[in-house]
Amino acid sequence: MTRRAVVIAARRTPVAPRGGSLSHLQADELAAPVLDKLVEDAGLDHTSVDHVLLGNALYAGGNPARMAALRAGLPETGPALTLDTQCCSGLDAIIMAARLIESGAADCVLAGGTESFSRAPLRLHRPLAPVSEPVAYSRPPFAPPPFSDPDLTEAAAALAGQYKLCRTTQAEFAVGSHDKARAAAASIGARLVDCPGSGLKTDSFTRGLTSRTALRAPVLAGNQSIGLTAGTIACEADAAAAVLLVSDDLARDLQMPGLQIMAAGSRGGDPADPALVPIGLARDLLAQTGKSIEQLSAIEIHEAYAVQAMITAQTLAVDPRILNPLGGGLARGHPIGASGAILMVQMFQSMRLAERQGLADEFQGMALIAAAGGLSAGILVEGHPSRDR
């Protein structure tokens, strides 16, 4: 019998723009209360956790996962691993956790991502000669020559031109993201964990955005007709998100409903068009499980850019009603290493809402995210019953 991994608890912090209410917290300080709360939610002891896996993109070492695990009161004997696949990091960490459980190497794993844009280290290239000065840089290369390594915003603007997605269409999509998030505020709040010293109870960027306001924002890339603006690009943000995964046998013993991972994977593609890579991965996941887009209850696609999510959803023929039903990244912000894990927290809450209608066992969903360098990660899940049928 195939051993499956089941998400039985999911939590995150609120998301705050860089320099906002979470700016005093390091990445590990954001993640620690999330990890601690997950163990409590599952009714387990901290010693039950076999491994901690966290994605992070901006800290360039130091193993924030280990720091967060110790801050959360997990045993010092437990291993912890930080991984970096940029925007995919949080979802890739959950995929790796599932693999540990599927292989029998673990029964209980905490996995997700954490990011503080506000506290990220300054980046300097060490000089080659002692008399030279360090050279500051904003980001490392994501693909070596002769591959293309475009600025991601410029690449998204090029896609908007290729697919003829005008500024108005992009603005309307962003407004929809905010509208969904505002309508789901109470539901989202059920997954949020308080952060020390912040007093923040909600995602602080979410607002009553209008198309008129979004269109007034200055164009940051592209031209006046199809350009990207601050309203259609997710803002840089701080947050942490994680889930607790256990084996399907343990999930039944605990009698907790959850999300059973039916297929998951990472995939590479053209570094020049990273936004398009999740499309092929989504088709792979559907083929592996024999599912169709029409059978899914919810699809979470990260909205780093409106055009990115729009093209992916249109190409896959996603019903707008099930796309990011609790709002997307445009309404929250983009805490790079945490964004993929946030998708799974949102998915878990959608499953819990279905449970209230007696439909948890019928719930099916997929989460997708793209990353710099032409990477993507995705997970397809279905509702796991709290007890044997």
Q: What is the pLDDT of residue 142?
A: 93
- Tokens encoding 196: 């020390």
3-state secondary structure of 302: coil
Enter the DSSP assignment of 336: H
Which domains, ranges and CATH numbers included, belong to the chain? 5-122+233-384 (3.40.47.10)
Q: CA-to-CA distance for 14 and 59, rounded, in angstroms?
A: 20
Q: CA-to-CA distance for 154 and 5, rounded, in angstroms?
A: 38
Q: CA-to-CA distance for 72 and 76, rounded, in angstroms?
A: 11
Per the CB < 8 A criterion, the answer to whether 327 and 180 are in contact is: yes
Residue-by-residue pLDDT tens, the chain, 389 positions: 589 999 999 999 999 999 999 999 999 999 999 999 999 999 999 999 999 999 999 987 789 999 999 999 999 999 999 999 999 999 999 999 999 999 999 999 999 999 999 999 999 999 989 889 999 998 899 999 999 999 999 999 999 999 999 999 999 999 999 999 999 999 999 999 999 899 999 999 999 999 999 889 999 999 989 999 999 999 999 999 999 999 999 999 999 889 999 999 999 999 999 999 999 999 999 999 999 999 999 999 999 999 999 999 999 999 999 999 999 999 999 999 999 999 999 999 999 999 888 887 889 999 999 999 999 999 999 998 765 54
Q: What is the pLDDT of residue 389?
A: 41
Q: What is the pLDDT of residue 295?
A: 96
Q: Tell the residue number behind the tokens 């130091």, with chain if given.
A: 62
Q: CB atoms < 10 A from the CB of 137, how many? A: 11
**Global pTM value:** 0.96
- In order of 25, 170, 376, the CA distances from 268 in angstroms are 33, 26, 6
- Tokens encoding 97: 């956790």
Q: What is the pLDDT of residue 136?
A: 93
H helix runs in the chain, sequence order? 27-41, 64-71, 89-103, 152-162, 167-183, 185-189, 211-216, 248-254, 277-289, 306-316, 329-332, 336-356
- Tokens encoding 6: 């089941």
